[in-house]
Amino acid sequence: MKFGQGQKIIITGASTGIGRAIAIEFAKAGAHVGLLARREDLLAELANEIQTLGGKAFYKVADISERQETLAGLTELIHCMNGIDILIANAGVGAPTTIEPFNVETQEKMIRVNLLGVIYCIEGVLQTMLNRGKGQIVAISSLAGFKGLPGESGYTASKAGLNTFMEGMRIQLRSKNIYVSTICPGFIKTPMTEVNDEKDMPWLMDAQTAAKIIIKAIQRKTKVFRFPWQTSLLMRITSLLPDWVIERVMKKYNDNPPMPKNPL
């Protein structure tokens, strides 16, 4: 049987970017897809597209930074789909960390979405998986989680926290037949990255290509998957560089950081 066929998969942050692309690819494979995101118009549009392709899609509106909204949305999706096989906690946000002024509220929002939001999503599906005695939990993190970068302190911290949380969960759930995977992409062309200059995003990849790569990693139940290899290698090298080199390289970025079109 083709991977995904007949499986019940819930994807957060499904309305745009990587989440949307993953939903379409799984639907093409014959999966029943549950969609969770903030924007109902985009969710409805995606659900219609999936149904046009012959797939089955259900959607609920929720902001994953809000625990009760997230739990309610996931509970309804699990009920509509009569279960869940795979959770893909994809929803995430990003914005620079500024020091004048020091934008604390932005950092709080990023951590709430990128870390606590994933924890809320796991809460919403875990008992169902434990009751069934099987399941798979996937979090979309980032290669940025392996190095604190100037101007990106909040974002890199949120992803580093996510990486270590998922590592602990993976070990804790090992005996429960629930697989845990952390996916760490490099630069992906999405609405979140469109404010950046493409020349500052080496090995930029489109969302559809990234989705296909991610699905293969999910199928293999890879513990931690970093891609593309070029960006992964670059981050490993960066982690060994002295602070003054990174400061000099990123000075232009910090002098005029790209701000998201929709502030957090």
Active site residues: 155
Cβ pair 84, 8 in contact under 8 A:
yes
Alpha carbons 172 and 50: distance in angstroms, whole number: 35
Alpha carbons 255 and 247: distance in angstroms, whole number: 11
Alpha carbons 54 and 72: distance in angstroms, whole number: 27
DSSP for 191-236, please give it. TTTTTS-GGGSTT-EEHHHHHHHHHHHHHTT-SEEEESHHHHHHHH
Alpha carbons 103 and 151: distance in angstroms, whole number: 11
> H helices of 53-198, where?
67-81, 104-111, 117-132, 153-172
Going by C-alpha positions, the residue among 212, 231, 156 that lies closest to residue 26 is 212
Alpha carbons 214 and 18: distance in angstroms, whole number: 9
Alpha carbons 33 and 87: distance in angstroms, whole number: 10
Alpha carbons 226 and 243: distance in angstroms, whole number: 24
Query: What backbone torsions phi and psi does residue 64 show, to the nearest 5 degrees?
Result: -70, -5
